[in-house]
Structure 1
Amino acid sequence: MSANAPGQAAGIDVARSDAIVVGAGIVGAACARRLAEAGLRVTVLEREAAPATHSTGRSAAGIRVQFSEAVNVLLSAASLDEYRAMPEAAYRPVGYLFFVPPALWPAHLEGYELQRSLGMPVERLTPEQAARIVPARIDDIAGATWCPADGVLDPHGIAMAFLAEARRLGAAVRLNAPAQAIANAGSPAAARWQVRTPAGTFEAPVLVNCAGAWSGEVGRLAGLEVPVGPARRIVFATGPRVEPRVFPLTVDAGTGFWFRSEGQRLIFGLSNPEDTGFEEGIDWPWLETAYPVGLERFPWFETLDLDRKASWWGYYEVTPDHQPVVGPMPGAPGWFNACGFSGHGVQQAAAIGRVVAAQVRGQQPFVDVSSLSIERFAAGAPAKRESLIV
């Protein structure tokens, strides 16, 4: 029976498949591609009229291996290996540069040593060396780290390529299909997840929750608690610059302020920890906080003009510890989560597709993601969390 073949369940026309992927962003696209590659009949359900229109399409598009947790280093490194080979990824190794103050330097060096031990080409720089890459005020900087393999890419192009490959392998992608109700039409031991949408009702023994900022809501539709919610992030853009210099993605680790080149412009941002929930639009008053923070570290920002029309906003999908939730849902056979990436979904999507496909087949993933299990929240606050958050 094809993925869209109608069946009967409680008098309802149902399209049955082997796996339902909820969400057609870059993570959902990667999971769909790998599940289809494994021989499963896959149905992707996307709430919008086009794939990759939320966090994926509005990403700042960076990829890095500079993380404080080994699982994040390995997932990003494996994804980067895939993206390098994809013309659609348009990968550009412009590098990531972190300026680090004394209070954060010891912990940052631990992360640096971890990255080096895992074979990552990260370099330790003096403040003066870093300032030769990006001019900055360095009188209160202890040191810097630089990885020339980090860079930027095209998240939308990657997602569309993954979906095209999934379709080639037989997957069906249903747009304008937000989940309205989710129930187990089977038994506690042998689930048949049934998802009702405006585009029809779909059923499969496996459901992968890749709904991004909406992943918590998708879980609640099934009576499950998935600790993922939205946090708005603003990307401000300058006007075109005359100077041809290309800046790497540069982070002031003490404040979290970041910027990088985007064509002739610079884009920059600073996370507002209070900006949670499904707020929409650009928070222009936040610019009054973000810009002075950037100006303090990079005084030459005063020469830049802001282009309001080129600026944009999007959602992070965040968890309490800023680590993703990856793997099976306890007490819900056949339900898998791949969400809550807290700004790192684009960087890790390719690897996560492989991880989830292995988990669905009952195999050990090529990266140990046990630390990302949702069960870590059952005993309270996790012992460790990713500290290199941008």
Structure 2
Amino acid sequence: MPAFSLDTVQTAWCGELRDLARDRLRPVAEGGAPGRLNRPLIAALGELGLLKRLFASGSLELCLLRESLAYGCTEAETALALQGLGASPVLRAGTAAQRARWLPEVVAGRAVAAFALSEPGAGSDAAALALEAVPEGRGWRLNGEKCWISNAPEADFYSVFARTTAGAGARGVTAFLVPADRPGLTGTPLDMLSPHPIGALAFDGVPVTEDDMLGERDRGFGVAMDTLNRFRPSVGAFAVGMAQAALDAALEHTASRTAFGGPLKDLQSVAHTVAEMATRTEAARLMVYAAACAHDEGQDGVPRRAAMAKLLATETAQYVVDAAVQLHGARALQRGHLLEHLYREVRAPRIYEGASEVQRTIVAKELYARHARAEEGTG
């Protein structure tokens, strides 16, 4: 499928998802408490088959799913995405026993997963992880902290990345599946600008063995990056869904709102702003789809394309939502207004799963590496 065009089946599916998010999922989301895990919402995602679709989908389908849900209910989109992020290391690197134990529960919406990578001193620099795995008998004891972990401390299990070889950078990290009831593991909720739970985890001699490893010893950083490379374009899709919702709200408002003797849309400054919002949103959407297709087809440069897609889409969504607020004026800042909600939601994606500055670094490194290879080839 060309990256710039959806077929009729895909377009219809996206419309169905938008309706589902608005009519079935948003009421459940609104019944939850801000900053707390909404288990009924996660259960609804399982009952509707969306979590099953999440794990069975390619990167493009994942992007369409996240973009469509984000348009109708950002809370449902986030709940679904966090299940995918937390459980993908199990799906992609777990043993048969690990997958059999946890994945059916995740897909059904009965078990909640979390991706535990960031630390107080290792956010953007993920290779600087300090959570230590101290050898003991046939296993290890985990000691240290994780911070800014979505779904913590209420998740049922965590995909945890710990240092098993000191001084080895990215080559000394191992991934472990750690159930929440493992002795020595405690958590604290953080009061964040987010409707979903985010917390800190403390590991005080938490026991793990080879049976808990996700993949091979000292190869866990690759598990983390493989997960992030798949999800980064879809973070962009989440941003595009929010941008489209803000753009549509701005179109409706400026077409019906009267000021200075006529509708706002007749003011050139307003019309040009809306045109800019639409152009940037469509450009971001196309880059997200292209990055997703590149991932599905195994093309070269997937990390660069994923980084570009996340960077452009999240920065675009910030601009579009802000512009929509400006066009609406004070009403958009009232608690409960769609744009007030989007204004709070749109900020975090520019930071998590690699801040915009990290995405720029990834892009630049690959560009200069390609340039160096080309120079060597002509030399």
TM-score (norm 1): 0.28
TM-score (norm 2): 0.29
Decide which structure has greater helix share: 2
